[in-house]
Amino acid sequence: MIKLFHKTVNDDIWRDVLDLEKGSNLKVYFKGKDYYIIGHHKNHDENGGDSWLALSGFAKFDKESNIACKNEPSHIKDDSAIVTLRFSDIDYIEIFN
């Protein structure tokens, strides 16, 4: 179906690009911000203009230096720590499966 119609049976792109069984790590870049957040995909909510993304085991990094932001706690090793992000604030996402 993909080769013939360039379409999958999934209703949204997230089911095509995220590994919902083994998990995916995301690098999230924000509009007009000098940092990005790396974390593990926990969940996402599609609700039009008010859609959200949840990441666990996350940390904030400086875009220029790729070093963890000072005065920001790192939760990379803590899957119980969760951050929620509004999709409308996101510029783009890199996905690592």
User: What is this structure's pTM?
Assistant: 0.83
Res 21: pLDDT: 82
Beta bridge partners of 30: 90
38's tokens:
């790396």
Quick one: DSSP state of residue 80?
T
23: pLDDT confidence band, cut at 50, 70 and 90? confident
What is the spatial distance between Cα 42 and Cα 46, in angstroms, rounded to a whole number? 14
- pLDDT score recorded for residue 95: 94
The CA–CA distances, whole Å, from 23 to 40, 45, 69, 93 equal: 7, 16, 25, 15
Q: Which two tokens stand for residue 43?
A: 């969940």
